[in-house]
């Protein structure tokens, strides 16, 4: 089936998922929408998060997508169940894949989680971890300064190290015994090297991008939705915010061409 995979995120972070989808599913077209105009979602209320998510979803549904990937942890935490109930296409979130990946690599069942305020408040990762494995112990910490850092394109250098260092102070304690850290926001992998350097290389860092792409591939195959046509797909990338900044950051981070970028306005959705 040659309909596109739809991917939504609050900004540029979900491109880490989109890039991995392109790598694992080279025949599939992607339509990506990053809501950079209203990013970050983390400090927002549940009502706003749901409203903004549905506006993005409705835009992509008009493009006749065959599956929806919610590449935003905050949107996943607050809308995934609702999207599953309301939509007649498969919906993939990033929290369950990330939790499974962490469980696969932790050696002492001590897992840290960093994310936006809203994602941490939802406790979605802790529940996902304990649903899969009851004896997992997790420590969650909100890092509200990291998404704005990424959206500004500050991914290395003294400023990045200072902000990340301060953000991780409370979990950067050997006494906690953490051996694994989940990056509970798709923006955070763009700071992975800085985070790794700050925490030390004995901590295994988990990004859900690879696992989310793998799950998407499995769901497409199970539902007989894989594109069997030959040829290289043309990907479409939309942003609600400033186009030049989005394009510059995308080209700086992703060395291969991801697709054509357009600025759009999305209609208000009715909840």
Which residues are part of the catalytic machinery? 72, 185
Q: How far is CA 50 from CA 17, 41, 77, 108, 245, in A?
A: 21, 10, 10, 36, 26
Q: Which two tokens stand for residue 270?
A: 């009715």
Q: Residue 67's closest CA among 94, 84, 91?
A: 91
Taken in order 217, 219, 222, 225, the sign of the CA dihedral is negative
Using CA atoms, how far residue 248 sits from 15, 151, 243, 262, in Å, is 13, 11, 9, 13
Tokens of 56: 């993005």
Order of all β-strands in the sheet with 5-9 = 91-92, 67-70, 5-9, 30-34, 236-239, 260-263
Cis peptide before 40 (omega within 30 of 0): yes
> What's the token pair of residue 201?
């290389």
Q: Where are the alpha helices (DSSP H) in the chain?
A: 15-24, 46-61, 73-86, 95-105, 117-122, 124-132, 146-151, 158-167, 192-199, 209-222, 243-253
Six-digit token string for 184:
């509970």
In contact, 68 and 90? CB cutoff 8 Å: yes
Structure tokens of 78?
Answer: 């607050």
């Amino acid at each position: 089936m040659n309909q596109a995979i739809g991917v939504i995120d609050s900004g540029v972070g979900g491109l880490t998922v989109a890039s991995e989808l392109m790598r694992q599913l080279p025949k599939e077209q992607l339509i990506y929408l990053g809501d950079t105009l209203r990013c970050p979602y983390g400090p927002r209320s549940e009502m706003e998060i749901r409203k903004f998510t549905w506006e993005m979803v409705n835009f992509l549904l008009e493009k006749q997508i065959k599956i929806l990937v919610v590449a935003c942890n905050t949107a996943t935490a607050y809308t995934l169940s609702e999207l599953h109930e309301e939509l007649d296409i498969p919906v993939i979130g990033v929290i369950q894949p990330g939790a499974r990946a962490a469980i696969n690599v932790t050696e002492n069942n001590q897992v840290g989680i960093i994310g936006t305020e809203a994602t941490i408040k939802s406790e979605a990762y802790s529940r996902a971890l304990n649903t899969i494995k009851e004896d997992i112990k997790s420590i969650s910490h909100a890092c509200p300064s990291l998404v704005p850092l990424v959206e500004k394109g500050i991914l290395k250098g003294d400023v990045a190290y200072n902000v990340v260092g301060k953000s991780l102070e409370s979990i950067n304690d050997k006494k906690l015994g953490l051996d694994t850290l989940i990056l509970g926001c798709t923006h955070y992998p763009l700071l992975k090297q800085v985070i790794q350097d700050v925490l030390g290389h004995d901590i295994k860092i988990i990004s859900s991008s690879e696992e989310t792409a793998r799950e998407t591939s499995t769901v497409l195959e199970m539902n007989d939705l894989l594109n069997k046509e030959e040829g290289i797909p043309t990907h479409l990338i939309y942003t609600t915010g400033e186009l030049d900044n989005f394009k510059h950051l995308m080209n700086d981070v992703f060395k291969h061409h991801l697709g054509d970028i357009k600025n759009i306005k999305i209609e208000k959705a009715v909840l």
